[in-house]
Amino acid sequence: MLKPLTVTQIRLAFECPRLFYLGERFQTQTLFVPKGAALGLGKAFHDLAAAFVPLMQQDGHLRALLAAEANPLESAAIAQAMQQLFYEQVFYPYLQQAIAQKPAMAPALLHLWQGICDLIQRWAQLLLTNRRYCPADELVQKTFLAQEMAVEHCFTLANGTQQPVKGRFDSLVYDFERHRLCVVEYKTYQMQDPAAQVAQVALYGYLLHQRVGVPIDSVVYSVLPDWKEQTFTWQQLTDAIHHLIPIWLGRMQQWLTWEPSQPDSPPATTQPELLCPMCPQYERCQTFFQSAAPAPLRLDEQTSARLPRPTPSPAPPPKATVTAATNADQMGANLVQILQSFGVEVSYIGAAVGPAFVRVRLKPQPGVKVSSILRLADDLRVQLGLPGLPLIAPQAGHVSVDLPRTQRQTARFEQYIQTTTATATATDPVKIAIGVDLEGKLVEADLSDPNTCHFLIGGTTGSGKSEFLRSLLLSLIVRHSPDHLRIALVDPKRVTFPEFEQMPWLLAPVAKESDRAIQLMESLVQLMESRYQTFERFGCNDLRSYNQRQPDAVMYRLVCIFDEYADFMAEKEIRNALETSIKRLGAMARAAGIHLIIATQRPEARVITPLIRSNLPGRIALKTASAADSMIILGGKETAAVALLGKGDLLYQRGADLLRLQSLFAGKIQPPWPRQ
């Protein structure tokens, strides 16, 4: 049996075979560190992350918060409580001790804290999901199962020898909703080589699978330069393990036995422009391999195709996005200078680049009130030459200022959603695409969730409302067959859904007149009542439980998309008839698998009455014509929608969180169904 290799060594061999060789031959430093990065942050991040779970298990206030009913819990409230507790009990003492030993570490640790806050928010979301299935007093223990867990397994190489591989991953969590274990890896800096990251998390999941015998998903959390989450399913990873890892283990053994006098030296990295400037052994590598002829480092096409990609997997950002990321620091420095000219002292702590805007993060100095930044919105608009007011909002640990990009990018539908043959079953969740966040991730809403079962959507002319509805509709039909999903459309403008009028998903012809719209809504009420009678006979609570019990007689889920609702509100009789149906459907239709999505470009008080708003819990605001319209859509005193940029720039109210997203652009749709 060969000497064991570690998962870290395998990851390094994927990044650079030569650095792997030098590290084993000379026992030297092999950690790639980005230029200007503070040393020691990796250990700090792992130490802080390891302290998280024990603290959560011991805190009585958090257990009391989680003891509430599962549905009313809000991830934002849980995250805020966790962040405050973790800061007071763990991070602040750690910060004080680190500063006492090395004062120069303070800025880097504060930057690290922003990433930890994002990580805590992600854990809060997982706890909120698991709370639906697990008692509060067992929730933390059964969600976070293990820390720093060691695993080992022997692979059989092509020559028949046994190669032991061992490693220790950072954390193991359990997702009750998906019934799946998940290996967690913490990375301080985002890895430059995706293949190396895939190899590492795939190995950890596979090694644990050999011990417990169940599928294991994997996730990587990195916090610098910005928070990023990458997930990999078990199905993706097992293919990579079976076909790719044994090949590389054999190559690694060949590289370890190589001598400078021999041909076919370990090959150089495939990403020299990215990794060589960060390499701790760059000079030694240049001299040691100077006369060696490297073996070509290639993967055959079949093996390369097996490399999984993160889920979701948007296309790489255009080069303009990289340029914008570079310019974001300049925008942040300019913003700090302008605020200082008004006597407001802040520090720039980073920026995130979205398709339409740049979010600059500012840290107010002690004694500076957030309100002093908020009231300078008009002045910033003048000084920066902005077309509208900048969106300024207090966040956990900083204030965010959203500034429009000079070169705006388009979030194309095909980059985020695969338009392949629908494969979802009758019991799978039905999700609609909302938009792309600052991290380039697609945000979706589950229509079976009570908080997102029906939607109110508002936006003025030019806001991108019609394009948003088209991409939302397309995200449904590319995933679900007509046997499991039906669509009802109301289009008084007659121009929003022309490509969809012949699709087999339609429940009935598109309703374009008021009498047809009333008839359609009344028929949905009748369908809802009929389904509840069927549920009663079979002893079921909702559509999903019925379809699970009756696989041979499944009921389809139905989504009704109502464009320009205001066009039907002029006449009192029509308004009363529609409001009566919407009230009943909004209050009762979710469990019956019927969902309403109502949109208007005139979200006025006389059009969107309190009766309508109270029965449509999901809220999406594109650019509105006035602050009053924004408050009608989003509720409360939320006026931010008036400052949006239009063309798909939107705000999505998810629980207590208000997310700013960019909607997908579907372009010209080629119908996958025959025209009649």
Domain boundaries, the chain: 5-245, 319-404, 413-417+426-662
**Lowest mean pLDDT, pick from 18-32, 263-277, 343-357:** 263-277
Residue of 476, 470, 502, 497 lying closest to 663 (CA atoms): 470
Mean pLDDT of 219-248: 76
Residue 406 has what DSSP assignment? S
Which pLDDT belongs to residue 271? 77
Residue 672: band (very low, low, confident or very high) from pLDDT cuts 50, 70, 90: low
Average pLDDT over residues 297-308: 42
pLDDT score of 616: 93
β-bridge pairing 180-189 and 346-353: unpaired
Question: 278 or 433: which carries more pLDDT confidence?
Answer: 433
pLDDT computed for residue 419 by the predictor: 61
The per-residue pLDDT for 194 is 67
Q: State the SS3 of 574-588.
A: HHHHHHHHHHHHHHH
Where residue 121 falls (left for φ over 0; alpha for ψ -120 to 50; beta otherwise) is: alpha
- What does the CA dihedral 634, 638, 643, 648 come to, rounded to 10 degrees? -20
Is the predicted pLDDT of residue 390 greater than 70, yes or no? yes
User: What's the topology of domain 319-404?
Assistant: Threonyl-tRNA Synthetase; Chain A, domain 2 (3.30.980)
Q: Are 39 and 278 in contact (CB under 8 A)?
A: no
Q: In the 8-state DSSP scheme, what is residue 464? A: S
Please check whether residue 53 is in contact with residue 140, taking contact to mean a CB–CB distance below 8 angstroms: yes
- Confidence label for 630 from pLDDT (cuts 50, 70 and 90): very high
What is the pLDDT confidence band of residue 315, given thresholds at 50, 70 and 90? Answer: very low
Tell me how far apart the alpha carbons of residues 547 and 426 are, in angstroms, rounded to a whole number: 7
What per-residue string of b and e applies to 412-440 under the rule 16 or more CB within 10 Å gives b? bbebbbebeebebebeeebbbbbbbbbeb
SS (H, E, C) 198-227: HHHHHHHHHHHHHHHCCCEEEEEEEEECCC
- Give the mean model confidence (pLDDT) for residues 83-96: 88
Question: Strand 649-654 and strand 657-662: pairing?
Answer: antiparallel
Give residue for tokens 């008004």.
342
Mean pLDDT on 239-247 = 67
**Helix or strand or coil: residue 145?**
strand
Mean pLDDT (the chain, rounded) = 84
Nearest-angstrom CA–CA distance, 378 and 390:
8
In whole angstroms, give the CA distance from residue 425 to residue 485.
10
pLDDT of residue 671: 57
The DSSP result for 350-402, as a single string, is: EEEE-SSEEEEEEEEPTT--HHHHHTTHHHHHHHHT-SSPPEEEEETTEEEEE
Task: Indicate the pLDDT class of residue 39, thresholds 50, 70 and 90.
Answer: low
* Contacts of 67 by beta carbon, 8 Å cutoff, 6+ apart: 136, 137
First to last CA, the chain: 67
Paired strand residues for 200: none
Which of 226, 647, 642, 658 lies closest to 408 in space, CA to CA?
647
User: Which has the minimum average pLDDT: 152-156, 467-471, 648-652?
Assistant: 152-156
Q: For residue 277, what pLDDT is reported?
A: 84
CA gap 28, 641 in Å, rounded: 55
* Sheet with 557-562, edge to edge strand ranges: 442-446, 431-436, 657-662, 649-654, 618-621, 455-458, 594-600, 557-562, 485-490
Higher pLDDT, 22 or 671: 22
Higher pLDDT, 345 or 198: 345
**Both structure tokens of 238:** 């097992």
**pLDDT 10s digits, 553-568:** 899 999 999 998 888 8
**Burial group, residue 296, by CB count within 10 angstroms (0-12, 13-18, 19+):** exposed
The average pLDDT across 340-350 equals 90
CATH classification of 413-417+426-662, choosing from 3.40.190.10, 3.90.1640.30, 3.40.50.300, 3.30.360.10? 3.40.50.300
Whole-number Å distance between alpha carbons of 203 and 167: 9
pLDDT at 323 over 50: no
* Per-residue pLDDT reduced to its tens digit, 531-548: 999 999 999 999 999 999
Task: Report, as an integer, the average pLDDT of 621-635.
Answer: 92
Report phi then psi at 209, rounded to 5: -60, -35
What are the Cα distances from residue 375, in Å, to 368, 380, 393, 630?
A: 13, 10, 11, 19
Six-digit token string for 507: 């429940």
- Sorted by sequence, the CB contacts under 8 Å of residue 191 that are 6+ apart come out as 15, 197, 220, 222
Measured between alpha carbons, how far is residue 635 from residues 170, 478, 608, 621, 640 in Å? 41, 32, 12, 11, 11
pLDDT at residue number 71:
46
Query: Could you tell me the pLDDT band of residue 242, with boundaries at 50, 70 and 90?
Result: low
Confidence of residue 582 (pLDDT cuts 50, 70, 90): very high
Residue carrying structure tokens 């039905």: 430
Inter-axis angle of helices 572-588 and 514-538, nearest 10? 20
pLDDT of residue 35: 67
For residue 653, the surrounding DSSP H or E stretch is strand 649-654
% of the chain beyond a pLDDT of 70: 88
Average pLDDT, integer, range 49-68: 77
If one compares 448 and 327, the residue with the highest pLDDT of the two is 448
Q: pLDDT digit string (tens) for 434-449?
A: 999 887 889 999 999 9
Average pLDDT over residues 615-637: 92
5-245 architecture in CATH? Alpha-Beta Complex (3.90)
pLDDT in tens, 479-526: 898 999 999 999 998 888 888 888 899 999 999 999 999 999 999 999
Q: Which strand (E) or helix (H) includes residue 527?
A: helix 514-538
Closest C-alpha to 608, from 629, 588, 591, 592: 629
Task: Return the minimum-mean-pLDDT range out of 267-276, 285-294, 305-314, 383-392.
Answer: 305-314
pLDDT for the residue 301: 38
> 411: how many CB neighbours lie within 10 A of its CB?
23
At 495, phi and psi to the nearest 5?
A: -125, 0
CB 164 within 8 A of CB 11: no
How is residue 60 written in tokens?
């009585």
Q: What is the DSSP annotation of 60-101?
A: HHHHHHHTS-TTT--HHHHHHHHHHHHIIIIIHHHHHHHHHH
pLDDT of 243 strictly over 70: no
Residues 619, 633 contacting (CB under 8 angstroms): yes
Q: What is the pLDDT of residue 668?
A: 66
Which residues have a Cβ under 8 Å from the Cβ of 592 and sit 6 or more positions away?
A: 527, 528, 531, 532, 535, 542, 543
